[in-house]
Amino acid sequence: MAMNVGSSSGEEEVVSTINTTPLVDVMLVLLIIFLITVPVVTQSIALNLPKETNQVRVTKPENVEISVSKDGDVYWGTKIVPDMEDLVQRLGKEAVKNPQPEVHVRGDDKSRYESVGRVIFAAQRAGIMSIKFVTEPPARGG
């Protein structure tokens, strides 16, 4: 009993073409996934975000300068404030003046947000209406 396998000539033919059908299937699936997920990602609530402003700071003698160091120490001008209650009392004395002075908060870039937040809360408790943050201007040309 004999079995015939392959061609009778004895030469095997090598297929040298690439089957691109699986590649096209994968690309179409990825395209469909991106088309479905992109609208979900880009949806957000319509807001008018604040614009960056660069105003020159006018130094007036009645302005209150409060600084927060990287360690969380609070300074009124150049003198350290021992606790937040003392800061609230000092700001309360300034809040009753007419016109009310501006409070300029200078926070070290390594200070914790919590430290600056306590100063803002103290100013709010004292009734200060104008709090401004002093920052360093960006470098020119970049």
Residue 10 within a domain:
no
Q: Number of folded domains in the chain?
A: 1
Residue 72 within a domain:
yes
Structural domain containing residue 106: 64-133
Residues 6+ apart with CB under 8 A from 97: 62
Residue 12 within a domain:
no
User: Counting Cβ atoms within 10 Å, is residue 90 exposed (0-12), middle (13-18) or buried (19+)?
Assistant: middle
**Which CATH number belongs to the domain containing residue 122 in this structure?**
3.30.420.270
Q: Are the C-beta atoms of residues 91 and 122 closer than 8 Å to each other?
A: yes
Q: Are the C-beta atoms of residues 116 and 63 closer than 8 Å to each other?
A: no
DSSP-assigned beta bridge partners for residue 74: 68
Q: Are the C-beta atoms of residues 106 and 76 closer than 8 Å to each other?
A: no
Residue 21 within a domain:
no
How far is residue 103's CA from residue 87's CA, in Å, rounded to a whole number?
A: 12
What pLDDT score was predicted for residue 90? 92
CA distances, 56 to each of 25, 81, 105, 133, 134 (Å):
60, 27, 15, 12, 10
Instruction: Tell me, yes or no, if the pTM score tops 0.85.
Output: no
Residue 22 within a domain:
no
pLDDT tens-digit series, residues 83-135: 999 999 999 999 998 888 889 888 888 888 899 999 999 999 999 888 888 87
What pLDDT score was predicted for residue 102? 87
Give the pair of three-digit tokens for residue 48: 């008018």
Angle between the N-to-C axes of helices 84-95 and 113-126, in degrees from 0 to 180, rounded to the nearest 10: 40
